[in-house]
Amino acid sequence: MTQARQDAALALIELFEVDALLLLGLVNIRYLSGFKGSDGALLILPQDRHLLCDSRYTLQASDEAELCTVAEYKSKSEGITLLLKKVGCKRVAFDAEKVTVSFLNILKTALPDVDFIPVADELDQLRAVKSLDEIKSISAAANLSSTAFNELLPLIKPGVSERSIALELEFIMKRSGAEEKAFDFIVASGYRGALPHARPTEKLLEAGEMVTIDFGARLDGYNSDETVTVSVGEPDKKLYDIYRIVKEAHDLAISAIRPGIECSSLDEIARSHINNCGYGDFFGHGLGHGVGLEVHEKPVISPRSRQRTQVGMVFTVEPGIYIPDFGGVRIEDLVQVTEEGCIILSKASKELNVC
Ligand code: ZN
Ligand code: ZN
């Protein structure tokens, strides 16, 4: 755990006026300890840190969670109970989004004198600003993903199914070294393009349709996220106009990115352009989201967002227009906020590609 992350965790202990921070979400555990196993718990105290895991991970934890005292448990709840009794905590903050009600009840029954304080937003904010190493990993994932997409492009043609496009892209990515796909890819062609989160089906691409492909790779735990909409043959005028409007909204938002701008105003820049072009009713989702160890994390770029951009944030810009029974277009890039503005990490071209 780097000094900065350690300090941020300690600041939360002070903010919530608690004795300790109990983390059960794997991403937060990894972020704050270095441990990459698939199960465990992390207790952060002002003076020290304890990583709890089962026997499968004891060696790995000792290796990865350098700054933690590692202890093995037979049952997680029992391990946490014994540790909290031993260190004598009375008020413990925990990552509320990652703990089930039943698990919390077990802890509360075993430790009737301990107050458990749920926290979520403040914890998630810890990861919003990325370190240089993290940006390197995200950028490598984005590069791999975009390169795989460019390799896929010649295979996009009439008669090919959405599902085979998704499978082929996953295969190319993994062959190129991706640890995993970042999420289940979206491939939505023709009228199905109106569904922002369409799962690929056996539907075959037809000439004159647009296909929205939303994809990303994971490398060393870090994800990328990008969407390209391509045209299968020449698009009709309405589809072409929609593409142009979405691209303009995307470009306007990206050119406005700099440190200190309200996330909601970035959303507004793209949204008002789409509104002014008459398609305001057809852009239902927020403009973007942070990407890192999770595909959706802070900051949220939407009308309801209350935060400002900071150097080192990595998030998507993904306006779209979705018209029921007709089709849709989304264009998504992944950007890193810099002192001067931003750098686009996703590399596939966003000029309309006619396949
Ligand atoms: Zn996406
Ligand atoms: Zn996205």
Q: Distance from the CA of 332 to the center of ligand 2, in angstroms?
A: 7
Report the distance separating Cα 267 and Cα 308, nearest Å.
Answer: 12
Confidence of residue 6 (pLDDT cuts 50, 70, 90): confident
When pLDDT is averaged across residues 80-93 and rounded to a whole number, the result is 96
Report the distance separating Cα 138 and Cα 225, nearest Å.
Answer: 10
The pLDDT, as a whole number, for residue 14 is 94
When pLDDT is averaged across residues 109-126 and rounded to a whole number, the result is 94
Q: Please answer whether residues 165 and 187 qualify as being in contact, where contact means their C-beta atoms are separated by less than 8 angstroms.
A: yes
Report the distance separating Cα 223 and Cα 296, nearest Å.
Answer: 10
Phi-psi region of 278 (alpha: psi -120 to 50; beta: other; left: phi over 0): left
Mean pLDDT, all residues of the chain: 96
When pLDDT is averaged across residues 284-291 and rounded to a whole number, the result is 97
Q: Distance from the CA of 217 to the center of ligand 1, in angstroms?
A: 11
Q: Distance from the CA of 189 to the center of ligand 2, in angstroms?
A: 18
Confidence of residue 1 (pLDDT cuts 50, 70, 90): low
Q: Distance from the CA of 228 to the center of ligand 2, in angstroms?
A: 11
pLDDT at 171 over 90: yes
189: which residues sit within 8 A by CB, 6+ positions away?
A: 162, 203, 205, 206, 209, 210, 211, 212, 232
Number of helices (H), then strands (E), in the chain: 10, 19
When pLDDT is averaged across residues 131-156 and rounded to a whole number, the result is 97
Which listed ligand is nearest to 188 at the C-alpha?
1
- SS3 state at 27: helix
The pLDDT, as a whole number, for residue 156 is 97
Which listed ligand is nearest to 226 at the C-alpha?
1
Q: Distance from the CA of 146 to the center of ligand 2, in angstroms?
A: 14
The pLDDT, as a whole number, for residue 106 is 97
* Secondary structure letter of residue 198 according to DSSP: P
pLDDT at 2 over 80: no
Q: Distance from the CA of 313 to the center of ligand 2, in angstroms?
A: 15
Which listed ligand is nearest to 295 at the C-alpha?
2
What architecture is domain 2-127? 3-Layer(aba) Sandwich (3.40)
Summarised one tens digit per residue, pLDDT across range 207-261 is: 999 999 999 999 999 999 999 999 999 999 999 999 999 999 999 999 999 999 9
The pLDDT, as a whole number, for residue 7 is 85
pTM over 0.85: yes
When pLDDT is averaged across residues 332-347 and rounded to a whole number, the result is 98
237 to each of 44, 115, 231, 257, 351, how far by Cα in Å? 59, 62, 12, 31, 16
Spell out the domain ranges in the chain: 2-127, 132-344
Q: Distance from the CA of 288 to the center of ligand 2, in angstroms?
A: 6
Summarised one tens digit per residue, pLDDT across range 261-281 is: 999 999 999 999 999 999 999
Which listed ligand is nearest to 290 at the C-alpha?
2
Report the distance separating Cα 150 and Cα 145, nearest Å.
Answer: 9
When pLDDT is averaged across residues 278-306 and rounded to a whole number, the result is 97
Instruction: Give the least confident one: 1-10, 71-80, 201-210.
Output: 1-10
The pLDDT, as a whole number, for residue 132 is 95
Summarised one tens digit per residue, pLDDT across range 180-201 is: 999 999 999 999 999 998 999 9
Q: Distance from the CA of 178 to the center of ligand 2, in angstroms?
A: 18
- In CATH terms, is domain 132-344 a member of 3.90.230.10? yes
Go through 72-93 and write b for each residue having 16 or more CB atoms within 10 A of its CB, e for each that does not.
Answer: ebeebbebbbebbeeeebeebb
Which listed ligand is nearest to 185 at the C-alpha?
1
Q: Distance from the CA of 196 to the center of ligand 2, in angstroms?
A: 11
Instruction: Determine what percent of the chain is predicted with pLDDT higher than 70.
Output: 99
Q: Please answer whether residues 276 and 315 qualify as being in contact, where contact means their C-beta atoms are separated by less than 8 angstroms.
A: no
The pLDDT, as a whole number, for residue 5 is 86
Q: Distance from the CA of 273 to the center of ligand 2, in angstroms?
A: 20
The pLDDT, as a whole number, for residue 20 is 97
